[in-house]
Structure 1
Amino acid sequence: MGINDKPYSEKRDFIRMKIGAPLSAKLASSADVIEGLCLDLSGGGLQVEAKQSLPAGTEVEVEVSSDHGHSPTLKAKAKVARTSTNDNGDYILGLEIIQILPN
């Protein structure tokens, strides 16, 4: 089955994995850090729930923590691709991974 034969919701380069892990994002332009929850992760990006919005194009350095005590599960440079809100008024940030960083 080719990518054009898949239902629309499955036409992605990478599979999304739901993880629900704590995340911190340090803004590249300042020392500010945003705390949030990484809702899902794929080979190309992350979906994050946060109390603060960031404009599209903002670059951040993210660390996703592990629920199992590993430190950190993922460290990467990322760029905000989109921002929306959920029913609770929290912000949902779509982050595009630019570079995986060493732990």
Structure 2
Amino acid sequence: MSQNHADYSEKRDFIRMRVDTDVTLIHAEQVIAAVCLDLSSSGMQVQAAKTFQVGDNLSVSIDSDHPSLKGLHATTQVVWIADQPQGQQKLGLKILAMS
């Protein structure tokens, strides 16, 4: 776990909801499938099979299975990283803007 993760974890002022849902990340025009582990009004924790760096900006899309609910589309920034087995990473993403 990086030092950034320890610093950022102390700033949690928002309730996190566990979601375990598929998401699409877009970084440098590359589309990456990932899983959103939890979500709050200010950020999310995502697991991906690609390496990112703290400070990277990612577009995130979560599709809705319900016709009456719009999916989530956000611009985010990586604020912490935890390396996982087999080249995966858990990412702490701060939501910068929603569209």
TM-score range for the pair, normalised by the shorter chain length = 0.7 to 0.9
Separation in 2, partners of 1:42, 1:61: 16
Query: Can you list the C-alpha shifts for 1:23-78, whole angstroms capped at 9, x where unaligned?
Result: 11111xx2111110000000110100111120000001100123546775210000
Structure 1 residues 38, 70: CA separation in 2 closer, same or farther (over 3 Å shift)? farther
* Structure with the higher helix share, 1 or 2: 2
Counting matched residue pairs gives 91
Q: In angstroms, what is the RMSD of aligned CA positions?
A: 2.4
- AA aligned to 2:79 is A
Equivalent position of 1:77 in the other structure: 75
Equivalent position of 2:5 in the other structure: none
Structure 1 residues 77, 66: CA separation in 2 closer, same or farther (over 3 Å shift)? same
TM-score normalised by the chain length of structure 2? 0.78
TM-score normalised by the chain length of structure 1? 0.75
Q: Structure 2 unaligned segments of length 5 or more: list them.
A: 1-8
Separation in 2, partners of 1:20, 1:70: 21
Structure 1 residues 22, 69: CA separation in 2 closer, same or farther (over 3 Å shift)? farther
Range 68-77 or range 49-58, more displaced: 68-77
Between the aligned residues of both structures, percent identity stands at 36
Structure 1 residues 26, 14: CA separation in 2 closer, same or farther (over 3 Å shift)? same
Separation in 2, partners of 1:83, 1:75: 21
Greater Rg over alpha carbons, structure: 1
Equivalent position of 1:39 in the other structure: 37
Equivalent position of 2:96 in the other structure: 98
